Each structure stands twice: as structure tokens, then as C-alpha cells.
Structure 1
Amino acid sequence: MLALAVPVVGFNEMFAHLLGYHLPDAEWVWWVSPVLGTVIYAWGGWPFLTGALSEVRSRKPGMMLLIGLAITVAFVASWGATLHLIDHELNFWWELALLVVIMLLGHWIEMRSLAQTTSALDSLAALLPDEAEKIDGGQVVKVAPADLAVGDLVIVRPGSAVPADGRIVDGSASMDESMVTGESKTVRRQVGDSVVAGTVATDSGLRVEVTATGEDTALAGIQKLVSDAQASSSRAQRIADVAAAWLFWFALGAAAITAVVWSVLGLPDTAVVRTITVLVIACPHALGLAIPLVVSIATERAARGGVLIKDRLALESMRTVDAVLFDKTGTLTKGEPTVTGIEPVGGRTDDEVLALAAAAEADSEHPLARAIIGAAKERNLDVPSARDFSSSPAVGVKATVGGTVVEVGGPYLLEQRHLGELPVAEQWRSEGAIILHVLADGEVIGALRLADEIRPESRDAVDALHAAGAQVVMITGDAQAVADTVAAELGIDRVFAGVRPEDKAAKVAELQGEGRKVAMVGDGVNDAPALAQADVGIAIGAGTDVAIGSAGVILASSDPRSVLSVIDLSRASYRKMKQNLWWAAGYNLISVPLAAGVLAPIGFVLPMSIGAILMSASTVVVALNAQLLRRLDLRPETSTGTFLNRTVPNHPTSADRGTTEIRKDTVSP
């Protein structure tokens, strides 16, 4: 198009006169601008003309109709001057050529900016390998990931990406899961663990059984969320659409007034020039780009940082949140018991008590047993082997370890042996901890304190939310003592304890009744009503599908500090929206009167070509300003969990699960 515009401008008599050079004295020179100008109008102006027609049909006038009017008036006037039907000074071929070229340039910049925002989807799709190595009848065959089926066994070599969601059946590897969680640190995965399509085995190979393919994979879920969010509307977008419609009528009215005033003054030629300039400079291109580009970039930026926006309104509302309500288990805590204290007696050491307890619990599958065994592994203890293992519901476990009968249990075990609790037990119980005593040959040798371990990053999240001016509230089905202990350690402002699952939404409404804007953060099925009730529902990505379906924002990691990322993104996006709206609308309010010629009495007249340049310049400014959002870093320092990991069980509190699943040997009579 630029190649056609150069001869149109260069061989135009008005432009030559303006710059003071002479054109060849040949008849064909006279027809270069009209012929090529017509091609430019029909070809280069086609996107704007069809867009204008579409706006007329939908009865939603906007920027395309303004552009179409401007270039059509310039085209008709230029042909009129060329055929000597009107004054020759209304020959606008060179202005028309520059106008269309500049418009297309601005349109190209707009499309390029929008294309960059959708590159997140393309880059997510590119995470899948081109082919997968499937084990078929003992042979390794290469197939496309799309051809895999649930139950297939695939090989993932070191440095390669997982072709589909699956479960590791052989091997272990450090997995790069940054594309899902936003965490740069690798996570160790081993036999039995789930892996997500697109994650990379960095150091060793794996054999993976496929559990989900195609649209059922976590990666496809992320793509759909990003796509839906970018396609959804928002309050700010509706404001921008209304503003663009009003601007159309403003520009049309200004153009009509301009034409009438200049005609009344006896300058009909100037009236045409000024009217066209008003129509050109008032094109709300920048206004149409102001909001969609900001939200698209914000959505894409969030996805790369492990924050998935399902609903643009949720992102928009997050900046006004002044109370963040956290579900305790699985959000502020890890959702599983951990050994948090050891009290040895009888000359025993912490390590001796823990090693004997781990030996006795070695054959148990109970969560408390896994916690004890895990604590021994963390301390690198030499756990002796045990035999004659037995387990008694509501009592505990018993095993023989090197000739010593070791028992681990709660109050019922002590009651059967006519033994008393250690003095520290009362203090631990007041803090809401689970207490197990360890016996050796019928004598108490120590006690273990178990509790739901608080995430190390939770304190940072609470402190940061306080610094951001938000009240932090915790809600849980656990007893008041347990809740108060966690709240005191984290510095939480308010606690709702002993809340039944069906009553959580009512607590959210209670906060809203106090005039607060509430963000609810949860991960369980019982959190879904509360997530839906909150002004902004935020689901932890490792949680259940029901919770995720009820939330407007999903954190791909289980790091509560990611809530701050959402607030930062919301506030930064809102700032950019305001800046772009003020620039786009303010530019038009100032430039339209100049284009109409209000300063003509003092000798200033804005040329139509300069008007086109200014219009496109406003689009460039808006686009560049929105691009600054890409500098926002949303990744938390640490992250755990995987997005939509459906094979990982949820870990609700004991109160949420019901007492039937509580280990009976920990309950006082």
C-alpha cells in the first residue's frame, strides 16, 4: 500500500505546489493520483468500509463508520476536483493516500499488539512435544500426542516434555512445572505421582501411564480459561464501548457544525476540508483499543505467572478488595498432618523416640503414620525394621522392634495400659494439636505432637496483605483452639472457627454486610458456595474441580502469596485502563475543535494529513502504554502443587471430613 501511496503523493499537483517542485508536462501525470488513489481507496480502505457497513447494520456506530465517512468524503471530493466538477483545491488524493496508509499502520499496530497477547495460547500449545514415544507390544513407536489414549504407556526421556497428563509408573525426575505453577524451581516426582502435559523431565527418564488426553488435560484447561477470559466482557470495556458510541455522535455533530459554520462564512471549500479533518481526527481507534488490549495483556501476563483469570470482572474487582478470607486447610496450611513436636522421657532422645515410632508405623497407611515416617526421613534417621505389626482402630498400632514391643497411640491406648499422659499433653491439646504417645514394653518413652503444618509462605502473604491495606480473615471447620493457634502464628485479624461447610457462604455475606469487598480463597468442595458468594472467588489450583468452577481467579500454585499477584495485576491494569481512556477521550476532546478550525482567526489551521498522523499517534501511545504491563512480575518466590491435578486427593480438615475419618486413637474419651 505504501508503494502505491508514494506515486499518488509525488505526482499530485497540490502536493507538488506545496513543496515547490514541477511535474512533467504530460497528460498521464494528471491521472496517476486519481487512478492509484482509487485503488488505495478500494483496496486499502476495504477493511474500514466493510467495518463501517457492519456498524450500520448492527446500529452500533463507532470508529469504523467514522473512518469510512472520512475516506469516502475525501474520495468523492477528489474525483469531483479531478473532473472539474468542483474547485480544484478540493483535490485530496495525496491526503487520502496518506490517510489510508496511516490508518492501516495504526490498525496493523493494533492487530500486532492483540496478536502478542494471544501468543500465550500459542506458546502453551507449543509446550507439547511434536511426537510421543509409546510402548506398544514391547516396542517403542513414535506417535503424535493427539493419537494417545488413556491407559497408554509412554517414555519421557531426560529433557523432554510430557505428551499427556499421566501417572509415573517407573522412574523419578525433577520436573520443570513452571508453565503450570509459575515456579521456576523444579519439583521431584516419582512413582505414583501425577505429571501434567507440557512439563519437562530435566534430569532423568520416566515411564508414564496416560490418564488424560486432548481437551481433558490440564494444559487444555489452561488454554480454555485464558481464551474465555480474553473473550469475556468487563465493566470497563462496556464503558469504553459506550464512550466510543458517544464519541461518534460527538464527531458527527462537530463535523456538521463545522460544515455549516464555514459555509455560512462563505468558504464552502474550507468547509469540506475542515469537515473531513474533523471526521479523520475524531476516529476513536485509540478508545476502541484502550481496554481490550490492557485486559488481554493482563490475562496473558497472569497466565505466564501462574494466575489464571476466568472472569474479567473478577480481575477488575480485585483492586477494590479490602478483606481476604482464607480457608485454613490446604490454603494457609498444607492440609496434611506433620510432626511438629517431640517430648522424650526416661533418658530417651527425640531421635530415638521418633525412630521407634516410625518403625512401628512402617506398615500402616494411615495419614498420621505417613507423617511420622516422613519426619524420620527428613531427619535422616536409621529406622530399624519391625515385625508382628498389628493395628487396632480407636487404639493405635503395635510392632516388635529388635525385641522391644513398641506401641503408638492416643488416649485409649494409655487407658488400656492404665498409664497417664505426659504433662505437656494438656498444653498441646489446648493448641489444637493431635497427641500420640509412644510406649516401649508397656512404658511411656515419649509423646509426639502432630498438626496441620502451616505453609512457610503464609506469613509473608498475610504481612503483604496487611501492607496492601486488606483485612485477613480465616475460616475453618476446625475447633476454636486449632484456629486460634494458626491465627496467632500468622497474625490473622479475624477467625471464623467451627464453621460447617454449608455455613461458609453466610460468613462471606456477613463480611459483605459490614461493607467490605471480600475475596475468598479456598480449594475444597465445601468452599464452592463461599467462592461464588464472594466479590472475587480465588481457587487454589491443586483443589477440586467444583471449587475451580465456582471461582473467577485460579492460582495454579498453592502459594497464598499469589493472591498479592492478583491484587497487583488488578491495580496495575486499572491504572493502565484509566490512563488509556483519559488519553483516548481527552485527545479527541482537544483535537476535534482544532480540526474544526477554532484557531483559524489567529492563523492556525490543522492540515488533514496531520490530523490523520495525530489520530494514529494516539493509537500508538495507547498500545505502547498497555505494553508496559508486560514488565509486571507475577511469580511468587516459591510455589507448590500443580494445576488441576485431578489425581491428587484434596486434604480437608478433620471437621470437614466428618469424625468417621478421624483416627480414633487420638480422641479423648
Structure 2
Amino acid sequence: MAEHGTHTHDKHAGHDKHAGHDKHTGHDKHAGHSTAMFRDRFWLSLLLSIPVVLTSDIIMEWFGYTLEFTGIAWVAPILGTVIFVYGGQPFLAGAVAEIRQRQPGMMLLIGMAITVAFVASWTASLDLFDVEVWWELSLLIVIMLLGHWLEMRAIGQAQGALAALAELLPDEAERITETGDVETVRIADLAVGDVVLVRPGARVPADGEIVQGAAELDESMITGESNPVAKEEGDRVVAASVAADGSIRVRVDALGEDTALAGIQRLVAEAQESKSRSQVLADRAAALLFYVAVVAAAITVVVWALLGQSDVAVTQSVTVLIIACPHALGLAIPLVTSISTSKSARNGILVKDRLALERTRNVDAVLFDKTGTLTKGEHAVTGVAAVTGDDDAVLTVAAAVEADSEHPLARAIVAAAREKELNVPSATGFRSMTGRGVEAQVDGAAVAVGGPALLRQLDLAAPDELAGQIDEWQGRGAAVLHVILDGVVAGALALEDQVREESRAAVEELHRLGVKVAMITGDAQQVADAVAADIGIDEVFAEVLPEDKDSAVTDLQKRGYTVAMVGDGVNDAPALARADVGIAIGAGTDVAMESAGIVLASDDPRGVVAVKRLSAASYRKMLQNLWWAAGYNLAAIPLAAGVLSWAGFMLPMAVGAVLMSLSTIVVAANAQLLRRVDLRPEPLTT
């Protein structure tokens, strides 16, 4: 079993679709080229280039040594040809592909440069021309291979999110047979309806429902939430989550492509392949740079030829072609995209639309749906009042009566008593009175719990001791239940939709970022106002029908705001689609929401702050990379052409190759700094 150390991931049906993720899929200039291929060609080309460099006349002259042996003149041509054919093959193949696709770019520039150097060197070796640059050509290809290898490694690390997600699944599962025995099977052999055993410390093999047992589940790989989530019989669990402290049995209801994990993988892949506005700009700039480089190289050849220096014309034109390669420019955006997308996925932020993430940095108004987003969508006891002053006694008898009821308010009362560790007695003769409340016998007394309708039926009124408190509760929209003991009102309970502690922190953080926070709900105005006052909301849209929620978004947009709508995605689809940025929250097991551009796998509203922070950081890195890549070319091309030759400075071809590779490495290293952006929310203060 996987949890016992037998990791045979190649057997897992879900893993093979990720084979080849080191193929540089996000950077199509290298399609089909693996990191290992560039590495192997680099090392062999480096070894072959050593004798080429050592036997070069100019190198021997520089370092004051002499080598003489039979055939020395053919060392550079023969080994240089091998290096050109073997080491230069990826660039030559890429150049041909760009010509066929009529999309000239980086590979065509490199291919042209090494081909010109190769032809010039052979004509010189055959005494047909005076320019021989075998050693420069060899080092040029070696440096280019090194730069591409390092780039591929960086991109491979960034795009490793998909492979990492695939590796989260165990290879085998323990299936319960019809006889109750446990058998070990491959994940691929599981079927919907099977019951699997998940031991402490093991990963859940597929999405399903707990049919026996209870455990705390680590779902951080899905939601980004580091704290384990308590799960019991009847709760859903998702594939790849880890049972931390208990053994559970799960009935499988989703496998393979239908699981939440597979949905996340699809979103990550789509986001990494999608293009943002910055990417389109970079692509256009890279395409334009090809023509700039060709024209600059042609001018270099003509000028130096007219000056009677054909050797300089060849070497410096090749240097122009090499140094102008739009490699850094082409890498500037895709690498940031890959890193930001994989980082966000690891933090429970699933980016469906790159443009949505890019727009989030400009959001200056966030509209939250109330129920299920800012609140938990479930009632909790927020107040207890007793005529005698013994609040615990009122809560105890109310919990005793409600223990047999399945009503959400009843569950909240029982949960409150359990939280206070009250000794709740058993009730007998339970009876539900539809629309009014419930009643039962508790320790020989007749107890009824219900709302105003129950009081009207029994012709009772709340005693003066409770009237003020009840008015206050009702004023803020709380549901009020009365506890009637032997025909007398003994106390009352207030129940309200529970505000998430995280909501206050989210609103506070958004305010700190200068963002207006609004709330929309179908609840009554007083209920909405009470929640807004509690959390610190700036504007409230109350008593809004689900189909009219998008009008609130339009209202904010008309006032000049760039709006992000945050909702649970169930009845908020029109508003999510209408907003400049739609963010679906609490969708850990439903990642296929069509209406939202960004999906938060957890139900923590602080994730909205993380999205804005990631958006700003990603955009900042994109701009830095674009400015560096473009600025480098603007400065380097004239130097490569020899504009400073009058001052005795000529940029050597090999140095040009080094600078081109360094510019790419600078862009890659700068993008890697995005990993340092902390998306984790601050701990809640109590």
C-alpha cells in the first residue's frame, strides 16, 4: 500500500497523463524538448568544445602557448561540425518549425546565427574566406544549451504543480468485500459504490461519503487550509486528503476525472496555458524584435563591409542575431504565469481565467454574498435569557426537548448545550408541532419550545423580565424561541446565522488595502444591518432576490468601481458573471464552476485578500521582467553592432551569447522570487 511505502506511481492510471510535464508545455518554443535533452547535449558539446578552443590560433596567441601535431588544422572543423549538428539540432529544428508556422522568433534567430558562423568557418577552413570562428561557434552553442537547460529546469519546477497533484493519490486502496474482508486493489480497479478502508495516516483514494467511523482530515492539498477538518459518518471526503487520527470507511462516488482533485488539475492546466494581456504584449514584442534583429544584423554587415572589415561584419552580425534573441522576452510572462498558478493552487486558490487574476489587482470594491460566505449559513445560539436568571437551566431543558428533532435550529440548540458541557437529561413523549415548535416531557415536566406562533396558540406572552432582551434580539433579526415550562414562559433563546471569525479579518485587510466592502443578501434589512455592523461592512444591499443580485454589481460599476463579486456559486452565477472578477468561495469539492474566474477551495473569505495580493505580485513580476527583457535588447543590440568600436570596445560573439543567456536567467530568477509571496492569512486573534 502507498501509505506503507510501496510507491509505484507508474502503475497509477491517473499519473500517466502527466508524463512529460518537463516538456516545457507552457513555452512552446521548446515543445517536445526535455530538460534532460538540453542537459545531455550541453555536457557532450562542452567536452567537444575544449579541444576546439585549445587548438584555436587566437586562443594560443592570447595565452602564449603553442600546439603542433599532424591534423591540428582539422580538429576545429570536425569537432565544430559535430557540435553544430548535435548541439545545435534543437535550435535548427526550432528555426525550421518557426519558418513553417510563419512565426519567426527566438529559434530562427539562433538558427540563423549559428548557421552563418558555421558556413563562414568552413569557407575559411577551405581557404575560401578569411573569417574563422570555430571556437566562438562552439562556445556559443554550449552557452545556448546551458541557458536553455537552466531555463527548462526553472519552468519544470514551476509547472510541477500538476505532477505534484497527481502524486498525491495513493497507488492502491483497501476495498471492503461483500464478506467484510479487506483486499488491496489498484486505484484503477475501484468502482463507484465500492467501500474502502482508510487507516490513520493514509490518503483517501477517491471522493466519497463516510459510512462508518470518524477522523480529522487534512485537506490542505485541496483547500489550502492547514488545520485538519473533523469528519464523521455522512460527511463527504475528497481524494488525496489524509486521515489524521482515525480510521474511516468511505463509499466511493467519484473516480478519476470526476474527482475534485482532477478538477483542480484541469483548472491549473488551463490557467497555465491561458494568455493574459501582458502575455499578448510580450508575444507581439518578441515577434517585432525578430525583425529589429534581422534589420540590425543586415545594417551591421553592410556598414562593416563598406569599411573593408569583412571579418568584423560576420562576427558582429552573428553577435547581433544572438544577443537580440527574444528569449528573455518570451519567457518573461509564461514563467510568472506558471509559478503564480501553481503557488495559488497550493494555497487553495484555483485560477480559471488568467485575465480575472490580472484584473483583481485593480479591484476597489468587493461585494460579498452574506449567507455561506461571510456567515456559515447555519444558525447558532447567540443569546439565552431566563426569568429566574439561570440561563444554563433553560438551555438544558430546551436541548433535551430538541434532541430528537432534525430541524436546523434544534441542532444549534443541542450543539450549544454540548459546547457548554451541560448535563442534558433524556426527554420522552416528543412531538413536533408543524410551524409552531416541539414539546416533550423532561424530568416529569411538560416542556415546549417554539416561536411567536406557539405563544399565540397557548395564549401566552413573554414576561416583562424577558421583553427588553427579546426586543433587542428581534431588532437585529435574530430568530427567537421561547421555552415554556408547565405552561409558563421560563426563558428565551436567540439564534442567528453565525458570522465567520475570518470575515472580520477579511474586511479589515481589504479596508487596509483601500478596498470598499459591500454585502448583498436576501435577508431582511435589520438582519443585514446587524451583520454589517458586526463585521464592518461599508454598504449593504438587503432583501435582494437571487435573480436581481447582478443589479447590485451593475450599480457599483456605474459608480466607477472595479467590482469583485464573492459568492458560493449556487445562486450567485449572474452576479459572478457580471462582476469584473467573479470569485466562487467554499468550492472545495466543486471546482467546475462556470460563472467564476477564480475559485477558492476553502470557505475562508480571507482568500479574497490572498487573491488580490497574488494578483499585484504577479503583475509586478511581469512588468519587471518585461522592462528588463526589452531594456536589455535596446542597450545590447547597438553594442553588438559595434557602435563603440571607435572607443576600442567590440562585443565578442561568445560574450554576446553569455549576456543573452544571463538575461534569460535574470528573468527566470526574478520570477522565482514570486514563490516568496506569503498568501497565508494571519492567525485569528481571539
TM-score, scaled relative to structure 2? 0.91
1:365 to 402, 406, 411: 406
The amino acid that maps onto 2:349 is V
Q: Partner residue of 2:352?
A: 310
SS in 2 for 1:399: strand
| Partner Cα separation in structure 2 for residue 436 and residue 602 of structure 1 | 92
Tell whether the 8 Å contact from 1:325 to 1:473 is kept in structure 2 after alignment.
Answer: yes
1:151-171 CA-partner distances (Å, limit 9, x unpaired): 111111111111111111111
Is the CA contact (8 Å cut-off) linking 1:524 and 1:547 kept in structure 2?
A: no
Structure-to-structure mapping, 1:15-34, within 5 angstroms: 15-26=59-70, 28-34=71-77
Q: Is residue 667 of structure 2 the alignment partner of residue 622 of structure 1? A: yes
| Other structure's SS at 1:549 match | coil
Match of 1:12 in 2: 56
**Paired residue secondary structure (1:320):** coil
The count of aligned residue pairs is 635
Q: How far is 1:18 from its partner?
A: 3.2
Q: Does the Cα contact within 8 Å between 1:523 and 1:543 map onto a contact in 2?
A: no
Corresponding residue number in structure 1 for 2:97: 54
Q: Which of 449, 455, 472 is equivalent to 1:414?
A: 455
* Correspondence 1:335 to 2:380: no
Whether the 8 Å contact between 2:591 and 2:599 is mirrored in structure 1 is no
Q: Work out whether residues 525 and 546 of structure 1, in 8 Å CA contact, stay in contact via their aligned partners in 2.
A: no
Q: Deviations along 1:382-401, whole A, 9 cap, x unmatched?
A: 11101111111111111111
CA distance in 2, matches of 1:379, 1:218: 36
Determine if the alignment matches structure 1 residue 262 to structure 2 residue 304: yes
Match of 1:665 in 2: none
**CA–CA separation in structure 2 for the residues paired with 1:348 and 1:360:** 20
Match of 1:453?
498
Structure 1 equivalent of residue 4 of structure 2: none
Q: In structure 1, what is the equivalent of residue 275 of structure 2? A: 233
Counterpart in the other structure of 1:433? 478
The 5 Å alignment of 1:157-196 reads: 157-196=199-238
How far apart, in 1, do the equivalents of 2:233 and 2:497 lie? 25
Pairing partner for 2:419 from 378, 393, 404: 378
Task: Tell me which amino acid in the other structure corresponds to 1:238.
Answer: V
Q: Which moved more, 1:76-85 or 1:46-55?
A: 46-55
User: Within 2, Cα distance between the matches of 1:524 and 1:389?
Assistant: 38
Residue pairs, 1:60-139, within 5 angstroms = 60-87=103-130, 90-137=131-178, 138-139=180-181
Match in the other structure for 1:301: 343
Deviation for aligned residue 1:239: 0.5
Please report how far the alpha carbon of residue 13 of structure 1 lies from its aligned counterpart in structure 2 after TM superposition. 2.7
Supply the distance in 2 between the matched residues of 1:489 and 1:399 (Cα, whole angstroms): 36
| 2:430 and 2:441 in contact (8 A); partners too | yes
Aligned residue in 2 for 1:321: 363
Q: Which residue of 1 aligns with 2:29?
A: none
Q: Could you tell me how far 1:427 is from its partner in structure 2?
A: 2.0
Report the 3-state secondary structure (helix = DSSP H, G, I; strand = E; otherwise coil) of the residue aligned with 2:156: helix
Residues 461-470 or 545-554, more deviating:
545-554
Asked if the contact 1:524/1:543 (under 8 Å) is kept, the reply is no
Q: 1:48 to 1:20 in 2, by over 3 A?
A: same
Range with bigger deviation, 184-193 or 364-373: 184-193
**Inter-partner Cα distance in structure 2 for 1:546 and 1:417:** 50
Task: Provide the rounded CA distance (Å) in 2 between the counterparts of 1:165 and 1:100.
Answer: 50
Q: Secondary structure at the match of 1:550?
A: coil
- The separation in 2 between residues aligned to 1:155 and 1:551, in whole angstroms, is 35
Query: Separation in 2 of the partners of 1:168 and 1:373?
Result: 23
> Which is further off, 68-77 or 117-126?
117-126
Q: In the aligned structure 1, how far is the partner of 2:362 from the partner of 2:586?
A: 23
Residue 457 of structure 1 aligns to a residue whose secondary structure is helix
In the aligned structure 2, how far is the partner of 1:240 from the partner of 1:19?
A: 43
| Fraction of identical pairs, as percent | 63
SS of 2:205's equivalent in the other structure is: coil
Q: Is the 8 A contact 1:559 1:638 kept in 2?
A: no
Amino acid of the residue matched to residue 12 of structure 1?
Answer: S
- Which residue of structure 1 aligns with residue 42 of structure 2? none
Instruction: State the Cα deviation string for residues 24-83 of structure 1 (Å, max 9, x = none).
Output: 232x21111111111111111111111111212222211111111111111111111111
Deviation at 1:348, TM superposition (A): 4.6
2: distance between equivalents of 1:181 and 1:609?
49
Residues 1:634 and 2:634 are matched in the alignment: no
Residues 116 and 546 (structure 1), Cα distance of their counterparts in 2 relative to 1, 3 Å cut: closer
Aligned to 1:509: 554
What's the C-alpha RMSD, in Å, of the aligned pairs?
1.4
Displacement, 1:549?
A: 2.1
Offset from partner CA, 1:270-319 (integer Å, 9 cap, x none)? 11111111111111111111000001000011111111111111111111
- What is the SS of the residue equivalent to 2:423? coil
| TM-aligned CA deviation for residue 479 of structure 1 | 0.9
Output the CA distance in 2 between the equivalents of 1:543 and 1:105.
41
Shift in Å at residue 20 of structure 1? 2.6
Alpha-carbon distance in 2 for matches of 1:576, 1:86? 47
In 1, distance between residues paired with 2:122 and 2:139? 17
Q: Tell me by how many angstroms 1:372 deviates.
A: 0.8
CA distance in structure 2 between the aligned counterparts of 1:435 and 1:426, rounded to whole angstroms? 10
**Separation (CA, whole Å) in 1 of partners of 2:614 and 2:391:** 47
- CA drift at 1:547: 8.2
Structure 1 residues 580-589 or 39-48, which shifts more?
39-48
Residue segments in structure 1 that go unaligned for 5+ positions in a row: 640-669
Task: Answer yes or no: is the 8 Å Cα contact 1:580–1:625 preserved in 2.
Answer: yes
Q: 1:198 to 1:637 in 2, by over 3 A?
A: farther
Q: Is the 8 A contact 2:588 2:601 kept in 1?
A: no
Report Cα offsets for 1:212-264 as digits up to 9, x if no partner: 11111111111111111111111111000001011111111111111111122
Aligned counterpart for 1:443 among listed residues 478, 484, 488: 488
Structure 1 contact 324–470 (Cα < 8 Å) conserved: yes
Pick from 547, 556, 559 the counterpart of residue 601 of structure 2: 556
Structure 1 residues 546-584: Cα deviation after superposition (integer angstroms, max 9, x where no partner)? 983211111111111111111111111111111111111
Cα contact 1:33–1:94 (8 A) shared by 2: yes
Q: Quick one: which amino acid aligns to residue 496 of structure 1?
A: F
Aligned partners of 1:59, 1:604: CA distance in 2, in Å? 37
Matched to 1:3, the amino acid is: L
Instruction: Map 1:582-593; keep pairs closer than 5 Å.
Output: 582-593=627-638
The match for 2:434 is: 393
Instruction: Report deviation, 1:10.
Output: 1.8
Q: Distance in 1 between matches of 2:321 and 2:474?
A: 77
Within-5 A mapping of 1:151-162: 151-162=193-204
**C-alpha deviations, 1:126-171, integer Å up to 9, x for none?**
1111210111132211111121111111111111111111111111
Aligned-partner SS, 1:548: coil
CA distance in 1, matches of 2:313, 2:370: 70
Question: Cα offset for 1:637?
Answer: 4.7
Distance 2:134 2:312 in 1: 16
Aligned to 1:365, the other structure's residue is in SS state coil
Residue 570 of structure 1 is matched in structure 2 by 615
Do the aligned partners of 1:165 and 1:195 also contact (CA within 8 Å) in 2? yes
| Whole-angstrom CA distance in 1 between matches of 2:569 and 2:266 | 22
User: Structure 1: how far apart are the matches of 2:55 and 2:247?
Assistant: 68
Q: Which residue number in structure 2 is paired with residue 253 of structure 1?
A: 295
Match of 1:642 in 2: none
CA distance in 2, matches of 1:546, 1:431: 35
Q: Is the Cα contact below 8 Å between 2:445 and 2:485 reproduced in 1?
A: yes
